[in-house]
Chains A and B, each alone.
Chain A
Amino acid sequence: MDKIKQNPLVKKVGFNRVVLCGVLILMYIFFSILVPAITGSGFAGMSHIMGALNYAYFLGFLSLGVTFVIATGGIDFSIGPVMFCCGLISGYCLMTYNMPLPLCLLISILIGTLFGLWNGYLVAYWTVPPFIVSMASMNMAKGIASVFTKTQSVSWPRSTDANGWFRNLVKAGGIPTGLLCFLGAAVICAIILNNTKFGRYIICLGSNKEAVRLSGVDTKKWEMCAYLMCGILVGIATIFFVGTYTTVQPGYGDTYNNEAIAGCVMGGTSMAGGLASISGTVIGVLIISLLQEGILALKLTKDIQLIITGIIVIVAVYADVMARRRKN
Chain B
Amino acid sequence: MGEIILQMKEIDKSFPGVHALDHVNLEVKRGEVHALMGENGAGKSTLMKVLTGIYKKDEGTIIYRGKEVEFRNTREAQDNGVVIVHQELNMVGDLTVAQNIFIGREPRKGFRIDDKKMIEDSKALFDRLHIDIDPTEKMSELTVGKQQMCEIAKAISHNAELIIFDEPSAALTEKEIEDLFTIIRDLRSQDLGIIYISHRMDEIKVITDRVTVMRDGGYVGTLITEECTKEDIINMMVGRVIYEKPKEKSLVPADAPVVLKVEHLNAGKMVQDVSFELRKGEILGFSGLMGAGRTETARAIFGADPKQSGDIYVNGEKVEINSPQDAVNHGIGYLSEDRRRFGIVVGKSITENSTMAALSDYMSGLFINKGKEKQVSEKYIKELDTKTPSTDQLVVNLSGGNQQKVVIAKWLVRNSDILIFDEPTRGIDVGAKNEIYKLMNRLAAEGKSIIMISSEMTEILRMSDRIIVMCEGRKTGEINIEEATQELIMDKATRQMEA
A contact set with B: CB distance below 8 Å = 191, 195-197, 200-201, 203-204, 207-208, 210-218, 274-275, 327
* Residue from A214, A274, A275, A327 in contact with B334 in the complex, judged by beta carbons closer than 8 Å: A214
Binds A, one of B26-34, B87-95, B335-343, B444-452: B335-343
Q: Which residues of chain A are near B352, meaning CB under 8 Å?
A: 200, 204
Smallest CB-CB separation from A275: which chain B residue?
Answer: B347
* Residue from A197, A210, A218, A275 in contact with B341 in the complex, judged by beta carbons closer than 8 Å: A210
For chain B, what secondary structure do more than half of its interface residues adopt (helix, strand, loop), or is it mixed? helix
Q: Which residues of chain B are near A197, meaning CB under 8 Å?
A: 359-360, 363, 368
Binds A, one of B68-76, B185-193, B323-331: B323-331
Q: Which of B293-333 contact A (CB under 8 A)?
A: 302, 304, 323-325, 327-329
A and B contact pairs by CB, cutoff 8 A, 14 listed: A196-B367, A196-B368, A197-B359, A200-B359, A204-B352, A208-B341, A208-B344, A208-B346, A210-B341, A212-B345, A214-B336, A215-B410, A217-B325, A274-B347
Contact yes or no, A216 B347, CB < 8 A: no
Smallest CB-CB separation from A194: which chain B residue?
Answer: B368
Q: Smallest Cβ distance from A248 to chain B, in angstroms?
A: 35
Q: Which residues of chain B are near A204, meaning CB under 8 Å?
A: 345, 348, 352, 356
Q: Which residues of chain A are near B327, meaning CB under 8 Å?
A: 216
Q: Which residues of chain A are near B370, meaning CB under 8 Å?
A: 195
Q: Smallest Cβ distance from B161 to chain A, in angstroms?
A: 32
Contact yes or no, A216 B357, CB < 8 A: yes
Smallest CB-CB separation from A324: which chain B residue?
Answer: B347
The 5 closest A-B pairs by CB, nearest first: A216-B328, A215-B357, A215-B356, A208-B345, A207-B347
Q: Smallest Cβ distance from B346 to chain A, in angstroms?
A: 7
Q: Which of B240-280 contact A (CB under 8 A)?
A: none
Q: Smallest Cβ distance from A198 to chain B, in angstroms?
A: 9
Chain B 353-369: CB-based contact to A (< 8 A → 1; otherwise 0): 00011011001001110
Known pairs A208-B346, A218-B323. 15 more at Cβ < 8 A?
Answer: A195-B370, A197-B360, A204-B348, A204-B356, A208-B341, A210-B342, A211-B345, A212-B345, A214-B343, A216-B324, A217-B357, A274-B345, A274-B348, A275-B347, A327-B396
Count B-side interface residues using an 8 Å CB cutoff: 31
Q: Which of B400-432 contact A (CB under 8 A)?
A: 410, 414
* Residue from A210, A217, A275 in contact with B356 in the complex, judged by beta carbons closer than 8 Å: A217
Q: Smallest Cβ distance from B13 to chain A, in angstroms?
A: 16
For the complex, give the distance between the alpha carbons of A203 and B368 in Å. Answer: 14
Contact yes or no, A213 B324, CB < 8 A: yes
For the complex, give the distance between the alpha carbons of A212 and B359 in Å. Answer: 12
Q: Which of B368-388 contact A (CB under 8 A)?
A: 368, 370
For the complex, give the distance between the alpha carbons of A197 and B357 in Å. Answer: 11
Contact yes or no, A215 B367, CB < 8 A: no
Contact yes or no, A215 B366, CB < 8 A: no
For the complex, give the distance between the alpha carbons of A134 and B366 in Å. Answer: 30
Q: Which residues of chain B are near A200, meaning CB under 8 Å?
A: 352, 359, 368
Contact yes or no, A211 B343, CB < 8 A: yes
Contact yes or no, B329 A216, CB < 8 A: yes
Contact yes or no, A211 B344, CB < 8 A: yes
Contact yes or no, A207 B357, CB < 8 A: no
Q: Which residues of chain A are near B334, meaning CB under 8 Å?
A: 214
Given contacts A207-B345, A274-B345, A274-B347, whether A212 and B366 have CB atoms under 8 Å apart is: no
